[in-house]
Amino acid sequence: MGVSSDARSQACIVGIGETDYTRRGGIQDRSELALACEAILNAARDAGITPDDIDGLASYANDESVPWLIQEALGLPHLRSATMVWGGGGGGCYASIAEAAAAVESGAANYVAVFRSLCQGQRKRFGQGYAVPHSPGFLDPFGMFAPPFMLAPLAQRYKQDYGIREEQVAEVALVARDNASRNPRAVFRDRPLDLETYLSSRMVADPFRLYDCCQENDGACALIVTTRERARDLDGPIIRILAAGQGSEPGWGSGGLGSHNMPEEDYRAGGGRTLSTRLYAKAGITPDDIDTAQIYDHFSYFVLMNLEAYGFCGRGEAGDFVAEGNIRWKGGKLPINTSGGHLSEAYIHGLNLAVEGVRQLRGTSTSQVENATLCLLANTASAAIIGRE
């Protein structure tokens, strides 16, 4: 039986590429643009295509490696599609995958490179204080001038309303560090972490302790997206993009970075509720079908919120869910952030989590989930479900 035209045009990930990851300021011999190009070239090589085949680019908010610079640096002969997702810092990470999928499925491009590059030692530091352009007069007087301070009230409300305990939240950080110990790419691979150290660490912005906060890193990574029909002409494994999208409930346009006027139920939930419903419906699956999840862990409390928003447990139940060992690599019902995540591998604004999701479905992760066929890439404002061919 022949394959339908819809199936042939379905978007797939066929290549992944990375640079080395370091702590902020660790890369001084290459520019942020050079890192972006390096990651894209590595992804193209992994896919078995040449740079000349790339005719689309996708990234997300605040990326200074703009498409025309990438085109010139790589000598791309035909750039037919170039998109950048707006807003939310790393909230658009998986939306850039959705943009790439839309481009290849519509015929706007044949091969799209999705990329993210950071070199914070040479330019803007994302963790330092800054004013959100549209609302500094509302946030700054309250000391909310950097992400930990902007987002702490949401986590505090969640913790208070649902009785979340610190040792439950610690499980997110401890699992990430354990997974990183097996990953040679992880910045914190040789830095073990135990519960006592977590609980005795300094408070950054209540309830965020030091180990609740992601790293600040230099590095880049990239994906190559094309159609299923073209993917079958390549030698590597095919990872299908079953669903990808973006969006959030009222008040979440800039999330806690610029708004604290969400409806009460959504404020303490972290967003993502309606997006998850749409994605599961499009993919034709349920949360029970997911084998592993790579969840945006800029702050550990939001991993708990996303576990609830994406249906792995009920509202307010994530503390008990993780305390029972469900997110651990060995023996867990839903192993998460198996490369170490942002907390312990690197913070490349979510895209390195997508690279790890592809590795899981290829069977090449350093913390491989047995027989993994479906992976969720989740954030409050964007998400994707990918599956093995």
Question: Helices marked H in the chain — which ranges?
Answer: 5-8, 32-47, 67-74, 93-106, 136-139, 147-162, 166-180, 195-200, 228-231, 264-267, 273-283, 300-309, 318-323, 341-344, 351-362
**How many angstroms separate the CA atoms of 322 and 195, rounded?**
14
Residues classed as catalytic:
296, 347
Total number of domains constituting the chain: 1
Asked whether residue 157 is domain-assigned, the answer is: no
- Residue range 358-368, pLDDT digits in tens: 999 999 999 99
Mean pLDDT to the nearest integer, 152-169: 96
373 in a structural domain: yes
| Domain-embedded: residue 369 | yes
Q: Is the pLDDT score of 5 beyond 60?
A: no
pLDDT for 2 equals 39
Contact 187, 342 (CB under 8 A): no
Per-residue confidence (pLDDT) for residue 150, from 0 to 100 = 86
> Mean per-residue pLDDT for 117-133?
68
Q: Which domain holds residue 322?
A: 5-120+212-388
Predicted confidence at residue 89, as pLDDT, reads 60
What is the domain-level CATH number for residue 308? 3.40.47.10
CA distances from 60 to 100, 246, 268, 353 (A): 11, 12, 26, 15
With a pLDDT cut of 70, the percent of the chain lying above it is 93
Q: What is the pLDDT of residue 64?
A: 79
pLDDT, tens digit, 9 for 90 and up, residues 253-297:
666 777 788 888 888 887 788 999 999 999 999 999 999 999 999
Peptide bond into 207 cis (omega under 30): yes
* 174 found inside a domain: no
Which tens digits make up the pLDDT trace of 245-260? Answer: 998 777 776 667 777 8
Distance from C-alpha of 277 to C-alpha of 267, rounded to nearest angstrom: 18
Q: Give pLDDT, residue 3.
A: 41
Tell whether 358 is covered by a domain. yes
pLDDT in tens, 316-343: 999 999 999 999 999 999 999 999 999 9
Has residue 351 been placed in a domain?
A: yes
- In the structure, what pLDDT confidence band is assigned to residue 204 with cuts at 50, 70 and 90? very high
Instruction: Please tell me the pTM assigned to this model.
Output: 0.94
Confidence check: pLDDT of 4 > 60: no
Give the count of beta carbons closer than 10 Å to the beta carbon of residue 73: 16
| Residue 198 domain-assigned (yes or no) | no
pLDDT score at 317 = 98
pLDDT range class, residue 136, cuts 50, 70, 90:
low
Only one residue has tokens 């680019």, namely 57
**184 belongs to a structural domain:** no
Q: What are phi and psi of 326, to 5 degrees?
A: -70, -20
